[in-house]
């Protein structure tokens, strides 16, 4: 159930834009390139349980299953319309993945359910409050020694990216990203070894690969 203080935003902000989602990501966001890099950084092992948080139309979750056939892969999204597209794409690709309806900040899974959680271009849709709630939820469902890998907008580092970020800083959902607050929010949620691991740039601005670790109890 959606929290009354939260405001769910579809992938392209308006439902009527959903049919254009895959084309925009493919051509405007260098989708295949950056999501392949995200999968490489996640180092998914056979039989690990993996969650794609905010799986959208299923591109990343399908790529994960194709690259790691023996992993148990789940995708979750709050938009039934994009989940329907994801199910069609998974059927066409002839792969077996679990696709669930739910919200990032109210995950429908028990504690310690996943070894790896990934998320691409989702976090910037959440308000500050819901980002922190989502990060806490991810940490809850991660097993000890699990990793959270995020691909999303982040702080600008040069004149071009600072110029690109000017408009996006005006909105609550994207301001945290472009103001460089994501690592601090991950630490506030209880993660360890938080890092801005790598950066690329596209037509919309700077994109960072964030990594956050949930240590085993008693680890230093």
* The predicted structure's pLDDT at residue 202: 67
Q: What does pLDDT average to in each consecutive run of 10 residues of the chain (220 residues)?
A: 46 44 52 90 97 95 96 96 94 96 97 98 93 98 98 81 61 81 97 91 81 80
* The predicted structure's pLDDT at residue 162: 63
Question: Considering only CA atoms, which of 149, 153, 151, 157 is closest in space to residue 203?
Answer: 153
- Whether 6 is covered by a domain: the verdict is no
* The predicted structure's pLDDT at residue 188: 98
- Whether 10 is covered by a domain: the verdict is no
- Whether 219 is covered by a domain: the verdict is no
- Whether 1 is covered by a domain: the verdict is no
Task: State the DSSP code for 71.
Answer: S
Report the CATH number that the domain containing residue 58 is assigned in CATH. Answer: 3.40.50.150
Q: How many domains does the chain have?
A: 1
- Whether 179 is covered by a domain: the verdict is yes
**172 lies in which domain range?**
15-213
- Residue 69 main-chain phi, psi, to 5 deg: -60, -30
Question: Considering only CA atoms, which of 175, 169, 167 is closest in space to residue 131?
Answer: 175
Coil, strand or helix: which one is 28? helix
120: left (phi over 0), alpha (psi -120 to 50) or beta: beta
- Whether 45 is covered by a domain: the verdict is yes
């Amino acid at each position: 159930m959606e929290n009354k203080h939260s405001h769910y935003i579809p992938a392209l902000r308006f439902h009527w834009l959903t049919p254009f989602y895959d084309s925009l990501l493919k051509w405007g966001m260098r989708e295949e390139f950056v999501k392949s890099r995200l999968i490489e950084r996640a180092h998914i092992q056979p039989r690990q349980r993996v969650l794609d948080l905010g799986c959208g139309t299923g591109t990343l979750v399908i790529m994960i299953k194709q690259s790691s056939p023996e992993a148990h892969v789940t995708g979750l999204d709050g938009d039934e319309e994009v989940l329907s597209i994801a199910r069609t794409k998974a059927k066409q690709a002839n792969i077996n993945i679990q696709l669930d309806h739910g919200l990032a900040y109210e995950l429908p899974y028990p504690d310690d359910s996943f070894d790896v959680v990934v998320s691409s271009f989702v976090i910037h849709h959440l308000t500050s409050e819901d980002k922190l709630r989502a990060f806490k939820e991810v940490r809850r469902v991660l097993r000890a020694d699990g990793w959270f890998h995020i691909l999303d907008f982040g702080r600008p580092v040069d004149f071009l990216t600072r110029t690109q970020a000017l408009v996006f800083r005006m909105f609550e959902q994207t301001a945290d990203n472009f103001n460089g607050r994501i690592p601090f929010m991950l630490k506030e949620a209880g993660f360890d070894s938080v890092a801005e691991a790598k950066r690329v740039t596209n037509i919309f601005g700077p994109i960072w690969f964030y990594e956050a670790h949930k240590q085993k109890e008693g680890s230093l």
